[in-house]
Amino acid sequence: MSDLEFSLLVLPSILASLLIFHLLAKRSKQKSYHLPPGNMGWPFLGETIGYLKPYKATTIGQFMEEHISKYGKIYRSNLFGEPTIVSADAGLNKFILRNEGRLFECSYPRSIGGILGKWSMLVLVGDMHRDMRIISLNFLSNARLRTHLLQEVEKHTLLVLECWKNNSVICAQDEAKKFTFNLMAKHIMSLDPGKPETEQLKKEYITFMKGVVSAPLNFPGTAYRKALQSRSIILQFIERRMEERIKAKCEDEDDLLGWVLKNSNLSKEQILDLVLSLLFAGHETSSVSIALAIYFLQSCPIAFQELREEHIEIAKAKKQSQETELNWDDYKKMEFTQCVISETLRLGNVVRFLHRKALRDVRYKGYDIPCGWKVLPVIAAVHLDPSLFDQPQQFNPWRWQDMNRGSCYTNGSSSSSTTASRSSSNNNFMPFGGGPRLCAGSELAKLEMAVFLHHLVLNFHWELADSDQAFAFPFVDFPKGLPILVQHKHNPFPTS
């Protein structure tokens, strides 16, 4: 038998036998697992369609509710084409995130890698992830927040709010997106708001984003295909900017691009994916969080009032010391604001669940999680769990205060929360994930929200111009863009 005949006839049979053996071994092995209860649904599709059905963002949705009441907080399913363990259990979620790289590993669907790039931080694991993370953390460090970003955040807030006319209807979600996009574009590539190149990039980015959150169908005309085209236009743009820098020998520009060109050994392809993924990570999540805060505050006038009083005090002190721009000490005074931010993130759940896979067989609370299975820690389910958060569906920023002064629904009367349940609340609060992949931009996100709220509540009052509410698709979005009617409020201590 010639080599060719051998390859054509014998090798495939050997491979087929190996495959059958592997599948049988796997199946017999599975039989001995004590899997959590659940339903594997239809072949291949599993229960994906039910899982992804849109629902109100302040709930866990009917699908999840039914599954938890039928099977408990840990159940098995078949999602995104893979056998999956879904966890609404606070303890298991923490266990999964803390054991990243040892028992579990980040595992986003392949389509995410296709669109964000194979070097995107969301899909990288191991040493390469660590290297990219160090760069991002360095760039988003507390020191940079104090020295650079606070001023930039305030400047970009004012740029957006100054265009709001009295008695006009504003699309709050778009305005928040404008703010976070301009901020990130400046911080990452020194792009100035309003310039034609920034606006062109923004346009491409909108198409790109629609594809990131759409079904990954790469056919002509689909949102996914258009997003892949926008991705390459955006990458060409970043590449041009990079080359201009190298040619002009000004790699030390004080932005992320300048920093990586000067301080890292990353390849061109790696830099492009890093820049794109930071733009994505830093823009969408923060803007939706700001829109959610605007939404929750209009539904809770006493929270709005308390927030405004806090910011009037800060503005008053600044006026007395003849300062105009916010500084770090002012930010540290925003205590109730931090409660509003935490409550917004808890109730709105911008990132609802994370994608992981088991690296080996893991046993938890008597259940087996087989090696290779997908694992979805659902952080939203923990934040909305009535056994962990009192009346979890209510917007109650006071729950985050040391001395609980009651919720807006009880109009200031004290609630039954104990110190123990408050500290357990903090422990179960994970809007930014946890473990070695904890959000690199969490401090920047909180700063953005606080500074935006500062100028918003000082200068405006608002109400819904049309009914709208946030839905989980599962990405969180206001279907009508959150239209609000804004009215100027008298700011007794204007700073500029």
The first and second tokens of residue 177, run together, are 């997106």
Q: Rule CB under 6 A: choose which of 94, 133, 146, 155 binds ligand HEM.
A: 133
Q: Rule CB under 6 A: choose which of 136, 157, 404, 425 binds ligand HEM.
A: 136
Site for ligand HEM in 24-63 (CB under 6 A): none
Nearest C-alpha neighbor of 482 from the set 199, 277, 287: 287
Site string for ligand HEM, 440-469 (x = CB under 6 A): xx--xx------------------------
Task: Name the one range near ligand HEM by CB under 6 A: 22-30, 382-390, 398-406, 433-441.
Answer: 433-441
Smallest separation, CB 435 to ligand HEM (Å): 8
Alpha helices by DSSP H, listed for 32-149, are 48-52, 61-71, 90-98, 110-116, 126-139, 142-144
The tally of CA atoms less than 13 A away on the side-chain side of residue 371 is 7
Asked whether the beta carbons of 471 and 54 are under 8 A apart, the reply is yes
Alpha helices by DSSP H, listed for 72-216, are 90-98, 110-116, 126-139, 142-144, 150-161, 172-189, 196-212
The first and second tokens of residue 97, run together, are 């995130």
The reply to whether 117 sits near ligand HEM by the rule CB under 6 A is: no
Task: Name the one range near ligand HEM by CB under 6 A: 60-68, 213-221, 257-265, 277-285.
Answer: 277-285
In a 10 Å sphere around its CB, with 0-12 CB exposed, 13-18 middle and 19+ buried, how is residue 413 labelled?
exposed
Smallest separation, CB 106 to ligand HEM (Å): 5
End-to-end CA distance of the chain: 88
Residue nearest to ligand HEM (CB): 441
Smallest separation, CB 249 to ligand HEM (Å): 27
What b-and-e string marks burial along 355-372, b requiring 16 or more CB atoms within 10 Å of the CB? bbbbbeebebeebbbbee
Asked whether the beta carbons of 375 and 358 are under 8 A apart, the reply is yes
In a 10 Å sphere around its CB, with 0-12 CB exposed, 13-18 middle and 19+ buried, how is residue 182 labelled?
buried
Smallest separation, CB 289 to ligand HEM (Å): 4
Q: Cα(93)–Cα(316) distance, rounded to whole angstroms?
A: 44
Smallest separation, CB 172 to ligand HEM (Å): 16
Residue 67 or 355 with smaller CB distance to ligand HEM:
355
Q: 439 a known binding residue?
A: yes
Residue 22 or 110 with smaller CB distance to ligand HEM:
110
Residue 136 or 404 with smaller CB distance to ligand HEM:
136
Residue 84 or 289 with smaller CB distance to ligand HEM:
289
Site for ligand HEM in 413-432 (CB under 6 A): 431-432
Site for ligand HEM in 285-314 (CB under 6 A): 285-286, 289
Q: Cα(158)–Cα(190) distance, rounded to whole angstroms?
A: 18
Smallest separation, CB 138 to ligand HEM (Å): 12
The tally of CA atoms less than 13 A away on the side-chain side of residue 305 is 6
Annotated binding site for heme: 439
Annotated binding site: 439
Judged by the rule CB under 6 A, the positions of this chain that interact with ligand HEM are 106, 121, 133, 136, 140, 278, 281-282, 285-286, 289, 350-351, 354, 431-433, 437, 439-441, 444-445
